[in-house]
Structure 1
Amino acid sequence: MLDFRVVRIWGMGGIGKTTIAETFFDQISIKFEGCCFCRNVREESKKCGGLVRLQKEIISEILEEEIPKSGTLNIPTFVKRRLQKKKVLIVLDDVDNSKQLESLVGGVDQFGPGSRVIITTRDKQLLGPYVRHNIYKVESLMY
């Protein structure tokens, strides 16, 4: 998909990754047709419904409507087609494994041109399968 970007904000816990992502989201979200800030993915994915619930919440927020319940991570074709036409901004905060990433944003062909996915993580190796991504390493203010 043209001009799809994944930006990873990486650093140790408590260093300000979420704050950076929130600020960026607030500044640019108006430029997108659908937006979602998904907080605490690591913890939320462990709760009842886990990744299926999070995926449904993200898609519902982007499309601005309730999507049909599903007990699986498979997105219906008609929903995929709608997502592929939208320029979206998604923030996945505190992702700690590749299954979360794949389940919540899928492949790069899932969203329209100009879409952005921002991921905050403590795991430096998390985005291996994505060809085009930018990494912002948050450094400690302590020396």
Structure 2
Amino acid sequence: GMGGVGKTTIAKTILEILSYQFKDACFLADAKQNAKRNQPHLLQNILLSELLRNKDDYLNNKLDGKCMISTRLCSMKVLIVLDDIDHSDHLEYLAADCCWFGDGSRVVITTRNRQLIENDDSVYEVSTLPDDEAMLLFNQHALKKKIPDECCKSFSLKVVNHAKGLPLALKVWGSLFHWKDLTQWRRIVDKIKEKSTSEIVEKLKISYD
């Protein structure tokens, strides 16, 4: 799914709800920001540290990492979330084979690149919000209620239309409007409309995370 659509939020919720069923769980956040493409051993160290509950640096290279992950975790039932995967190396050296982990283990992957997971058993495409749900989400953050006052409706509609159903944009923009008067609402709407949604979402994601 595209940036800002809610992949990370869904993955975090899965971890919170299901983690009790596993011996241990790990949320490997924002993978592409935590390691350069030629340094997957940095991510391997984080994964091992979280699941083995030891903060030591285990590895200096990715090949040793593959061996250690498959050796140390093969008997553990674990839940792993690999968030924002954008390179095949991340999968090859972190979770290339289900036999690396104990029976019943699960690996959840979020990515914007559908090609990386084409061969996976279960792929869920996260879609944008329909208009009615988008309006509810925006109003909850902007007005702290589901139904806007008549004087705010036109501004709410403009923002929701520009957000194109992206939850991240709706949440962050909604927070900007909270406790503002109509004059300030008008100014914020004008600023939002100056840029494309995709451009703004990339900046919002950095600040929101």
Question: TM-score, normalization: structure 2?
Answer: 0.56
Matched positions, count? 130
Pairing 1:32–2:22 present: yes
Q: Which among 12, 35, 40 is matched to residue 45 of structure 1?
A: 35
Aligned counterparts of 2:31 and 2:57: Cα–Cα separation in 1: 22
Deviates more, 1:55-64 or 1:79-88: 79-88
Contact 2:65 2:93 in 1 (8 A): no
Counterpart residue number, 1:61: 50
Check conservation: 2:26, 2:81, Cα contact below 8 A.
Answer: yes
CA distance in 2, matches of 1:85, 1:96: 28
Shift of 1:52: 1.0
- Aligned partner of 1:8 in structure 2 is none
**CA 82–124 in structure 1, closer or farther in 2 if over 3 Å, else same:** same
Return closer, same or farther for 1:76/1:25 CA change in 2, 3 Å cut-off: closer
Instruction: Kindly state the Cα deviation for residue 66 of structure 1 after the two structures are TM-superposed.
Output: 4.0
Q: TM-score, normalised by structure 1?
A: 0.80
**Residues 1-143 of structure 1 mapped to structure 2, 5 A cutoff:** 11-46=1-36, 50-66=39-55, 69-73=58-62, 74-75=64-65, 80-130=70-120, 133-142=121-130
The amino acid across from 2:58 in the alignment is: K
**Given the superposition, is the C-alpha separation of residues 87 and 76 from structure 1 closer, same or farther in structure 2, using an over 3 Å criterion?**
same
The offset of 1:64, in angstroms, is 1.5
Deviations 1:21-65 (A, max 9, x none): 001100001111121100110111229x94211101101211112
CA spacing shift, 1:78–1:136, aligned 2, 3 Å: closer
Q: Would you identify which runs of 4 or more consecutive aligned residues in structure 1 move more than 6 Å?
A: none
Quick check: which one's strand share is greater?
1
Which SS does the other structure have where 2:19 is aligned? helix
Identity of aligned residues (%): 39
The higher relative CO (CA closer than 8 Å, separation ≥ 6) is in 1
Counterpart amino acid of 2:97?
G
8 Å contact from structure 1 (residues 98, 127) kept in 2:
no
- Structure 1 residue 76 displacement after superposition: 7.5
